[in-house]
Structure 1
Amino acid sequence: MRPARFGDLAAIVDVHTQARAAYYQAGGLPGSEIDSPDGWARRRATWAHAIQSSATTVLCAVEDTEVVGVVAMGPPKEGAEAAPSCGELHRIHVRPDRWGRGVGGLLHAEFVSFLQESSLETGLLDAWERNSRALAFYTRHGWVPQGGRRPGPGGVDFLRLRLDLRGRVAATAASGSTVPLD
């Protein structure tokens, strides 16, 4: 795991492009709706901004010298309803050929560390309602629906999820277990 560099931009966009194609296809979107001709350029611009922004933390999961996963986190996006004690998991992507190998768990642990180091109690994210793989991943890591929705591709909404670190600590203390927060 290491901070993203501007030289990683093409690899990050490639990871994002592969991951989104896989989960949108699995969710039933036809190929024609998954990507527009300018999609790659939009993703590149978004990641370039995130890497260069002082408000956003972008980390890469690297195997040997190859970027296989990426996470972006920071304050909630403009217009998002959130308390000052919230941080947002803006994006998390893993190359599909690395799914199930723990890369996503490592990226998620970095987000939890970000919240803890920033003294934030709550994490927020949006997940596409038909991305069952991601929703199962987030559920395993303690995320719950917050109730918010926004329109997504194919007429299927993105769901707003919430991770409450205080609740996880309280539940762990009440049970007497020593389950790690990540």
Structure 2
Amino acid sequence: MISHETAGVLVIRPAEPGEAGAVAALHARARATYYPDGLPPSDVDWTDAWRRSIERPDAEVLCGVRDGEIVAIASFRTPEGEPADTVKLYQFHVAPDRWRAGLGSALHAACVERWLAAGRRTAVLDVHVDNLRAQAFYARRGWVPDPQRPPAEDDHHLFLRWTPPGE
């Protein structure tokens, strides 16, 4: 257990490279919930992919930790070809056994705080069409369909955009 954490309190902090395995495991558990037939086969080494994301100097990976366990994760950065004031939320997951406990709301608020502090005025993401829970979560936080990226007929993702309220 990390000494600066308090029992029962959610601590949101940058992920560390040595936590890539725990982050990848949470990622897999969360993704499995919206695929009707389970996770599709993949040749991606997710632990390695997460380690690279965590170590990337132009990206941030935040994790929510409660009682020494990583229970929520988010990764974001400015994607290639986008304006510098735009950030893309690449991954956002909460451990399924911890849904409806406010973890996602706290993590989203921490992401927004970082985006605004860094001068980011727009955020984008794509969400799987079968992930209705995530779509509702994002809608409650002001995400709307991205008018610049309508979904293609053969795509399995919806593209959403967020701007600070009042802008």
Asked whether the 8 Å contact 1:128–1:156 carries over to 2, the reply is: no
1:35 aligns with 2:48: no
C-alpha displacement at 1:156, in angstroms?
A: 4.9
Asked whether the 8 Å contact 1:2–1:60 carries over to 2, the reply is: yes
**Normalised TM-score (structure 2):** 0.85
1:123 aligns with 2:127: no
Segments of 5+ residues of structure 2 without an aligned counterpart are 1-11
Which residue in the other structure is 2:136 paired with? 136
Name the CA distance, whole Å, in 1 between partners of 2:54 and 2:63: 11
- Root-mean-square deviation over aligned CA pairs: 1.9
Give the alignment of 1:12-51 within 5 angstroms: 12-25=23-36, 30-31=37-38, 34-36=39-41, 38-39=43-44, 41=45, 43-51=46-54
Asked whether the 8 Å contact 1:85–1:119 carries over to 2, the reply is: yes
1:56 aligns with 2:55: no
Give every structure 1 segment of 4 or more consecutive aligned residues whose post-TM-superposition deviation is greater than 6 Å.
Answer: none
What is the number of equivalent residue pairs in this alignment? 155
Which residue in the other structure is 1:7 paired with? 18
Name the CA distance, whole Å, in 1 between partners of 2:74 and 2:130: 21
C-alpha displacement at 1:84, in angstroms?
A: 2.6
More helix by share: 1
Name the CA distance, whole Å, in 1 between partners of 2:84 and 2:56: 19
Counterpart residue type for residue 96 of structure 1: P
Which residue in the other structure is 2:156 paired with? 157
**Normalised TM-score (structure 1):** 0.78
SS at match of 2:142: coil
Deviation digits for residues 121-169 of structure 1, max 9, x if unmatched? 11111111121000000000000001425679xx55211110011xx13
